[in-house]
Structure 1
Amino acid sequence: MNIPPPPEFKAKYKNEKAGQSWKEWKQLFQVYLSAADLEEVNGKGKVSLLLHFLGPDRINLYTAFDVRPAAEANSDSNIVGVPAEDKYNLETVLLKFDQHYGNGKLPNIRRKASLGRNQHTHESLMNFIADLKKKILMCEYGEVEESLLCDRIVEGIQNTHQACC
């Protein structure tokens, strides 16, 4: 089976939209690795695939990432040993891109967007709920997420006969 690669990642600037775009694209890439049965490829191969799909601008960014060297433990100086970061480890590289794009960490802006989210005129109830749930999950509300989701559905729904909570 020939699995198409993820679409080109287009965000160019570090901001909330770039962080969210990166998070969504990263998920598509991870699904692609699994669907194309590439999970067993070695780290360098996965990183190469990632960079290939990201393109030249992100390759330049990758080469500029700081990669932490190993630190040896020294109990006399209370220094804890830390392994070196591996620039050919996919998780390490994805984390570096997460950090670059802000990991989508602007909870107050995300909260404003989710709290103001209402169902659009021709939007299905399920699409509204799915989008709202995605937005609320990114807000880091913790234990009250489900209650907030239900409140926003009830408050933001266009057709009150569709309410589900």
Structure 2
Amino acid sequence: MRDETAEDENWGQQFDRLPATPDDRVVEGRPSREELIDWWVERFDIDPELFEGYTFWEKGAGKIWAFHGEVVDPIQIEGLGMRILRTRQRHWKPSTNAVQRFCRDATKNVIELSPGEAKAFVAGHDQQLDWWDGDWGYLVAAHEIAGEREPLGVGLYLHGELRSTVPKGRQEDLVELD
């Protein structure tokens, strides 16, 4: 059983709300709401108002969840909203769900894939894409579908290669993608 007075420790069996600002931080290494939103804005140039009404929670070491609503803090449940980000590592990694939900209008670090490249990406294949001249690291992989750019998921771009991070259970073998 956990000592309920240990508020300054991360405990992997419960969700703890992120502090509003770095000055409010009690648990070492836990990002603040402000830092989280700043990261999304800086990395993908999205509107910070997309996160209005969301509360952010950490469960485990760096697994960040977004919940549209309010609940008691802390809370011991299995899931709460949508996992959006993995922190507490050198580079923060957004989740596929978060990119699909929040990055439709992203204007930075979005790699727009051709039909063949998009098909390979959603099937989970890594591919050499030397034409990309933007940032390295985690990118939004997108493709135009029905006249609109749609985020497909998260890719990791290093040394001219786009690595698909589409989860195995969500990979698709698409016959047509135009």
Class of the TM-score when normalised by the shorter of the 2 chains: under 0.3
Structure having the higher strand fraction is 2
TM-score, length basis structure 1: 0.26
Structure with more relative contact order (C-alpha pairs < 8 Å, separation 6 or more): 1
Larger Rg: 1
TM-score, length basis structure 2: 0.24
Structure having the higher helix fraction is 1
